[in-house]
Amino acid sequence: MERDQRVGDNHALLYASELSHNYNLPLQVFYFYPNSFRFRTARYELFLLKGLAEVDWRLKQLNIPFHFIRGSLEDEVVNFAQAEKLGCAVVDFSPLKEKREWRLKVSQALSRLNVSLVEVDAHNIVPCWTASDKQEYSARTIRSKLYRHLNEFARELPPISVQAANLYEKVKKKDSINWIEIIESASMDQTVAEVTWALPGEAAAMEALEDFLLKINPRVCYYAGKKNDPNAKVISNLSPYFNFGMLSPLRSLLVAQGAAHLKGRENINAFIEESFVRRELSDNFCYYNHNYDNINGAPSWAQATLRAHQDDKRVKLYSKNQLEKGKTYDDLWNASQLQLVYDGKLHGFLRMYWAKKILEWTTCATEALSIAIYLNDKYNLDGNDPNGYVGCMWSICGVHDQGWKERPVFGKIRYMNYKGCQRKFDVRQFVEQYPEAVEECKNAGGKSCVS
């Protein structure tokens, strides 16, 4: 278990359970905790570890042992396979290159022990390699392909069966995992604090889904018309749960489809477009484009236009440190950055504006993209994820977009500005939530919309 950290609606776990039943062999779940990770923040680590503690508890109810193991992935898997006389390993799917390299190393190590490894896409509703065999140009080109397979894959999954006592006894561990000790001893950056608006784990994920879709007068009833207004607070807040695999996108889709007749087809369709089509488009891009996190992954027209305007004069240049602390002349940008730092999330519409301004304020697109990904992955609970990479690539590098009117710095990359945001929503109302944003704006010589 790696990307999909849940027991329910988990195709990989179901497949492993079926193998266990068919061959009358014990089923165990293994989670590898790497020695190093780019951002070990309290926000990310506590969300992860507390969620895994719930996975452990749920598996106990099913007589399925859960192993939390630190160390070198390849070495530990080999040791585990030899000690437990492993018959087959099942892994979940990730399109990210580092994760794919992990899976390849494990596969090669296990093959030397004559142990098969099977990869199951437990994250996407339509398996990534089934949806398309190539990088898709845009949502327009992948949408029909996804819907073509929807009836085949958008189905209820059976629950995981309780493991037979005789199989459980063969692998029963002597000691339970001490999650309190693991959490207290974990090395993490405490300056990026845990958030309170999103509780980790499968139960909290389901509660968040029901809160968005099913309660009386839920937020989804206003989603189509208000999703681009950061003040409206109608977004689902489900992206962290999708990112950590605590909520299955399949479950989200099935619940949404069931609520369509009560909550408005337009609102449900808008949510499904974001949570199904756009999310799976991001996996498609990262799976088929190894350069999903750098300028070489941009379409040729975007690379050409960014190169042509690389030396254009910038109105202002900011360092990564200034941007991270929200010290610019733009109060809306500062407020967006502070939302990211304090809340671990950034409204989707604001993320577009936020990333595009980084392009405007840095020396080149390569630097802009690097800073945008750095900030998103460090602070955002849905960072380190295909959607985050594609969001930055769309904003800065024109991925899944088209060429627009040419202008300085941006070239033909789609442009966004402050006045455009004011036409979309009440900028002042949003900025007022972050007084520091106003203060830094004035310190930087800007004029704030908040007097």
- Say which residue the tokens 């189509």 belong to: 224
Single-letter residue type at 35: N
Q: Which domains does the chain have, with CATH numbers?
A: 1-123 (3.40.50.620), 202-288 (1.25.40.80), 295-443 (1.10.579.10)
Residue 179's pLDDT is what?
97
DSSP state of 275: I
Please write the tens of the pLDDT for every residue from 168-219. 988 876 689 999 999 999 889 999 999 999 999 999 999 999 999 998 889 9
Find the helix or strand (DSSP H, E) in which 360 lies.
Answer: helix 348-360
CB atoms inside a 10 Å sphere around CB 73: 19
pLDDT at 390: 98
Q: Residue 139 and residue 144: Cα distance in Å, rounded?
A: 9
Tell me the pTM. 0.96
The pLDDT assigned to 72 comes to 79
Cα angle 8, 16, 149; round to 5 = 65
440: closest CA among 355, 325, 347, 287?
325
Distance of CA 373 to the CA centre of its chain: 13
Q: What is the pLDDT of residue 38?
A: 77
The pairing of beta strand 88-92 with beta strand 66-70: unpaired
pLDDT of residue 174: 67
Q: Which alpha helices (DSSP H) does 194-319 contain, by range?
A: 202-213, 223-226, 239-243, 249-263, 265-272, 279-288, 300-308
Range 384-405 burial, b when 16+ CB lie within 10 A, else e = bbbbbbbbbbbbbbbbbbeeee
**What's the token pair of residue 49?**
């570890």
User: Rounded to the nearest 5 degrees, what angle is found at the Cα of 171, between the Cα atoms of 165 and 174?
Assistant: 105
Give strand pairing partners of 31. Answer: 68
The mean pLDDT values, 10 residues at a time, for the chain of 451 residues are: 97 97 94 82 96 98 94 84 91 96 92 95 98 97 97 96 92 84 92 96 98 92 96 96 98 94 89 97 98 98 98 97 98 98 96 98 98 97 95 98 97 97 97 97 95 74
Nearest to 46 by CA among 195, 191, 152, 160: 195
